[in-house]
Amino acid sequence: MKPITIRNIRTIATAPMGASWLIVLVETSEPGITGIGCASFRMRYHTVITTIERYLKPLLIGRDVSEIEDIWQTSMVQSYWRNSPVFNSAIAGIDIALWDIKGKMANMPVYQLLGGKSRPAAAVYSHADGKDLQEVGDNFSKFREQGYKFIRCQLGGYGGKVHEITSPDNVLPGNYFDPPAYAKSVIKLFDYIRENFGTDTELIHDVHSRLSPIDVIKLARNLEPHNLFWLEDAFPPELLDWYTLMRQHTLTPQAVGEIFTHPREWEPLINDRLIDFIRLNITKVGGITPGKKIAAKAESNGVRLGSYAGCSSPVAVAATLHVNLNAYSFGAMEWNSWKYMEDVMSEMFPGLPQVRSGYMYANDQPGLGIGINEKMALKFPCPEDSLGMDIHDVPLWTTTRTPDGSSTRP
């Protein structure tokens, strides 16, 4: 039988919900078989487009689409230096599309190719935030009424930006927050949630690496009475050795990994059982091919998937969902509801995964089961300034500063 080969690779940049998404289409030599993937890197999507168009596309045109593993390995070492967020995202877009193609060729959903379902649907959590405790409580109640069993609680966004900031003269622009005030507000927040809503809901909080290592360890200990499902991103990738000390001093479960791009970030934490959930980001690790391997490694060490799909495109959400449905060791999956634009999203991405009572369901269509309406996607262009950067992201929440004007981790 003549092999089906890659005929063309195209990218579509779109931003129906404000965040810039980069969709990848891999067209094949077989008429009617096209794979869809996601290569989104919302702050640097132009760089990802260049990587695909200038470097990966010439490498892969003519390749047999069935050789997913070899294509991934070849692509990863093509530039010699590897495991960057840009290059991993580019590879992920093509890798996810190739799995979609393989599913269509086999007439099976991708989760069947991975070994079938371990569960009929994946538990998801969303974010109850607010400018004060009452607003957080109101949003928390809405999610509970919708059937969510897992809810992330934040007060004033990352870093708890609800406090008055006093800074010296001539500080630079940035996203300012007060670390000590933030740490105290987290305790008040979870006191309020447990006192008003009981213990039936699994609670999550994202530190976003906004505290010093010793202060976040103290926070984790102080949160023990509230029995969190997990505390997220206690330390940035530069300070992962602190998880050893964290494990020695608190029983609060730990989750990390949404910005990981290199195996040496997640492997030691999983091998030494220093975390309880690995925050698999399907685009930043390079696609489904490495994602399924990370899931297997986590399972062998008693670590569960706590997959990231927060600002992801529906295509990345679908790919993540297929891995989560298959993986035996799974906890919950982050998801930012597109409910307020559900009609638009359903039309733009036919086959959109459905959420009911806090669980996300894949359809049983071949491949990922999702497509894209290209004409509609072009109606929502990515917002750009003269430098070609996403004005929603640069330099707002990633330009984080403490009250004295010091730059800190976002």
Encoding tokens for residue 275?
């975390």
How many angstroms separate the CA atoms of 99 and 188, rounded?
Answer: 46
Encoding tokens for residue 98?
């190739």
Encoding tokens for residue 156?
């004033």
Encoding tokens for residue 272?
């030494």
CB 333 within 8 A of CB 309: yes
Strand, helix or coil for residue 384: strand
Torsion region of 359: left, alpha or beta (phi above 0 gives left; psi -120 to 50 gives alpha): beta
CB 129 within 8 A of CB 157: yes
Handedness of CA 358, 364, 370, 373 (dihedral sign): negative
How many angstroms separate the CA atoms of 206 and 224, rounded?
Answer: 15
How many angstroms separate the CA atoms of 279 and 276, rounded?
Answer: 10
Helix 314-326 crosses helix 288-300 at what angle (to 10 degrees)?
Answer: 40
How many angstroms separate the CA atoms of 308 and 403, rounded?
Answer: 30
For residue 403, how far is the Cα from the chain centroid?
Answer: 29
Bond from prior residue into 395 cis (ω within 30 degrees of 0): yes
Encoding tokens for residue 53?
């168009």
Positions annotated as catalytic residues are 158, 208
How many angstroms separate the CA atoms of 306 and 125, rounded?
Answer: 10
